[in-house]
Amino acid sequence: PGKEARRKFKDIQTRIKKTSRPSRKLKVELKNARRDVIMSAYYDDAVRLSEKLARWFIEIEKKGNHRFAICTGGGPGIMEAANLGAKKAGGISVGLNISLPMEQYPNPYQTRELSFEFHYFFIRKFWFFYLAKALVVFPGGFGTLDEFFELVTIIQTGKSKKTMPVILFGSEYWNDVMNIEKMAYWGTISPDDLNLFRVIDNVDEAFEYLKKELTRLYLNSTSPMRHKK
């Protein structure tokens, strides 16, 4: 996706250079292509992070330790990228698909026998949260925000006994679409609630943070979550 987005952007730039008066439509295409180049980088990052995690999960399982797996919404875009990363590493991945009239279809990279389809969003979210040991939130739309805010609300209110690391990946995007610090400023959340998640831009940093937290929570003999679901 990154290479394709950059190629399309360069093609439109070339078309604009060949005309003295580029049309409004062409200008809009250029703007959208520039945006797609930025967004495609998140796809590539999701592939890399998922691949690194899946390789680590395989090492853990070989040692007879806790078993982890990549789990996504099973659809296209970033979801596809995470399933692809796991497959490149030779690992398994779960796809919790949702039936939508025209939009979502199961991507080909999720493990076939671990691909499920849901009709209701709330049931799908229940299984997401029940299975999850950590959450990485890449740039997305209403559904992504819905899942992020419900999970941090569950953690904030103590409805879940699990301690869970949560990452918002991509500060440029998230700082542009929402300002959670302002919620603390206006008193609608506590300043401490800003510690429920971490904003990270780098794949290696995200991997090391998740590795450290999952090891602390699940893999040490004294891990607090070792025997909890």
By the 10 Å C-beta count (0-12 exposed, 13-18 middle, 19+ buried), 200 is classed as buried
Nearest Cα neighbor of 85 from 99, 71, 96, 104 is: 71
What pLDDT is stored for residue 130 in this prediction?
93
What pLDDT is stored for residue 228 in this prediction?
57
What CA–CA distance (Å, rounded) separates 222 from 74?
Answer: 34
Domains of the chain by start residue, with CATH: 46-219 (3.40.50.450)
Model-level pTM greater than 0.85?
A: yes
For residues 227 and 174, the model is more confident at 174
Q: What are the pLDDT digits (tens) for 24-47?
A: 888 898 888 888 888 999 999 999
pLDDT at 205 exceeding the cut of 80: yes
Cβ atoms of 168 and 200 closer than 8 Å = yes
Q: What are the pLDDT digits (tens) for 88-125?
A: 999 999 999 999 887 668 999 999 999 999 999 999 99
12: Cβ contacts below 8 Å, ≥ 6 apart: 26, 29, 30, 33
What CA–CA distance (Å, rounded) separates 129 from 162?
Answer: 10
Alpha carbon dihedral 142, 148, 150, 151, in 10-degree steps, equals 160
DSSP tag of 159: -
